[in-house]
Structure 1
Amino acid sequence: LIFLLSEAMASDVHKKIKAAFKAFDYEANNTVDVREIGTIVFSLGCFPSQADLHDFIAQVEEDHTGFIHLEKFLPVMTNVLLEKRFPPIPEDKLLQAFEVLDKEKKGYLEQEELTKYMMQEGEVFTQEEMDEMLTALTDQKDNVIYYKDVIDELIIDNDI
């Protein structure tokens, strides 16, 4: 029975990983650009540091080609999920972090504010990463980042 449950769990994990991977497999050849791996890993509810992400990529990248193949990615990512490595930051900690940045207590951040913090503090983001993040996080109507909405998006049901 335990073996069957373990097999069913692994099957569900494989489905989630394949779906996330295929969303970035633009040529439908079971390959993604290495620059997409962070986004894929984050979309699966894992939040590694930049150093951990770099180590992860080193395990799955094909001979420094800049591409990741599903066959190599799937078993490594499966282990990460089943072992619950790279857990998300708790919701209350995320809220505290955003509130520190929101000095005026507006409930949102301007794009320029978030860009300044993300490109100058801590693990620095590239302009390409920032553009991608701002596109995903910015409220299209008001052109600001409502961080409570962002937190709701980041809090993923991690029961695998």
Structure 2
Amino acid sequence: MAAPADEKESAESLLAEVQKKITDAFDIFDHDSNKTVDVREVGTIIRSLGCCPTEGELHDLLADMEEEEPTGYIRFDQFMPTMRDVLMDRKFKPAPEDQILKAFEVLDSEKKGHLAVEEITKYMTEEGEPFTQEELEEMLSAAVDPDKGFILYKDYASMMAVDET
């Protein structure tokens, strides 16, 4: 069993590591180096930190970070505490590979092992929380096997999974 001092040191080390990750990710998008980022880029920053919130959850996070009178920018001192809590509580974790694979298998009613571009386009734009055209194009560029012209979802599921380190 670790001594209480070791546990405290370990927790402080983890917190410092999380805060550095957040700062580094934020700084990439702080183009003017003024400790602010465009509100439209916050979702990308959050996802780069390994979090996968829905659009509704992202909207809630933004509401926590925004000024009373929205400016179109998020300040670092508003971003840090919210994201520190999110990362320390391990919120919005990505789905594991087996869960992603099961979701694709549900869509593949014929059990072919692949999905046509038309099928996935329909599911991604008409069901659940619809993808934007840009999100769809980004997904298809990564998911579609260039030789076969369809999505070999077992390969794509492993590509989508995020390793917990």
TM-score (norm 1): 0.77
**By how many angstroms is 1:6 displaced?**
1.5
State the identity as a percent.
48
In 1: Cα distance, 2:120 partner to 2:94 partner: 20
Who is 1:100 aligned against?
A: 106
**Which structure has the bigger radius of gyration?**
2
SS in 1 for 2:19: helix
Aligned length: 158
In 2: Cα distance, 1:136 partner to 1:37 partner: 22
**By how many angstroms is 1:133 displaced?**
3.2
Q: Which runs of 5+ in 2 are unaligned?
A: none
**By how many angstroms is 1:7 displaced?**
1.6
1:78 aligned partner, one-letter code? R
**By how many angstroms is 1:8 displaced?**
0.8
Who is 1:116 aligned against?
A: 122
Who is 1:74 aligned against?
A: 80
Aligned residues: CA RMSD: 2.7
SS in 1 for 2:74: strand
**By how many angstroms is 1:153 displaced?**
3.3
Who is 1:15 aligned against?
A: 20
Question: Which one of 9, 27, 30 corresponds to residue 31 of structure 2?
Answer: 27
**By how many angstroms is 1:31 displaced?**
3.6
In 1: Cα distance, 2:66 partner to 2:14 partner: 26
In 1: Cα distance, 2:38 partner to 2:150 partner: 29
1:120 aligned partner, one-letter code? E
Q: Which runs of 5+ in 1 are unaligned?
A: none
TM-score (norm 2): 0.75
Aligned pairs for 1:55-74 within 5 A: 55-62=60-67, 63-74=69-80
